[in-house]
Amino acid sequence: MFKGSNVALITPFKNDKLDVDSYIKLIHFHMENGTNGLVPAGTTGESPTLSHDEHEKVIELCVKESNGKLPVFAGTGSNSTEEAISLTSHAEKIGASGALIVTPYYNKPTQEGLYQHYKAINDKCGIPILIYNIPGRSVIDMSVDTMSRLYELKNIIGVKDATGDLNRVDQTLKKMGKDFLQLTGNDDNALEFNKRGGSGAISVTANIAPKLCSQFQALSILTDDKSNEESKNLDIILQPLHNAMFVESNPSPVKFAAKQLGLCDDSVRLPLVKVTEQTKEIINKALKSTKLIK
């Protein structure tokens, strides 16, 4: 349902307002270039600085424009359980395929608090839910045991793992089995992640290199020797781009790269700022190395 190369969509701005035309163009860009699934209004989409109305509109536009041709897992997380329920209910109402829900940031709940947070959302909604575990930004790390408890609930289907710990793939697979969906949130470890039992990525790099990321993901989940060699070669090509996307805080680098490709402006909302000149040089070098620009 939600495997392969799934893009953590950026949210374009113009004069600090949602740039609807560029956003629609981005959605169709992905539909035409091999992306397997869309994730609007996630943290790469600057959800913390979207107004409630903007957040809902971004999801609505994505569902409408994709028109059932690609699955849409809407970013509906919050550090307020009630707000997460509200956003997830809205996503369900307007036809999203599922929801990506980040662990609550700043509050620093216990493992029991995490369980009760997701259970409350699960109990009020009826669409598939992916846990988004990213301790580097949310401070709290959901344990495999807590995920296992959540997997017993009707709507919890998997995890976007951005821990960077590849041993988690093995531990999660052993605890929950192969039907529990594991997607990496770290583009740079996708090759090994899939090799260990993952099913794809929710990718930042796919914003600007959807064809390459899709081709890589399709090959990396296969096990024959030819596919393994081809996926390794694509991974080598993509690594400089993956690294360049995180020289400064995401999504500032990927927005600059998108501007270089004529996809949208590089505006971000405070407290994020545009990348420095030094970072621009690094990004341009990576774009050239992958032949995305001359």
98-102: strand order across its sheet: 37-39, 4-8, 200-203, 181-184, 156-161, 129-133, 98-102, 73-75
Give the residue extent of every domain in the chain.
Answer: 4-224
pLDDT of the residue at 6: 98
257-284 tens-digit pLDDT: 999 999 999 999 999 999 999 999 999 9
pLDDT of the residue at 224: 84
pLDDT of the residue at 225: 87
Query: Catalytic site residue 160?
Result: yes
pLDDT of the residue at 223: 82
pLDDT of the residue at 181: 98
Closest of 283, 182, 192, 178 to residue 231, by C-alpha = 192
Catalytic residue (choose from 3, 118, 160, 255): 160
pLDDT of the residue at 270: 97
Catalytic residue (choose from 23, 118, 132, 151): 132
For domain 4-224, say whether CATH 3.20.20.70 is its number: yes
The residues of the chain scoring below 70 in pLDDT are 1
Q: State whether the Cα torsion 15-19-21-26 is positive or negative.
A: positive
pLDDT of the residue at 221: 87
pLDDT of the residue at 229: 95
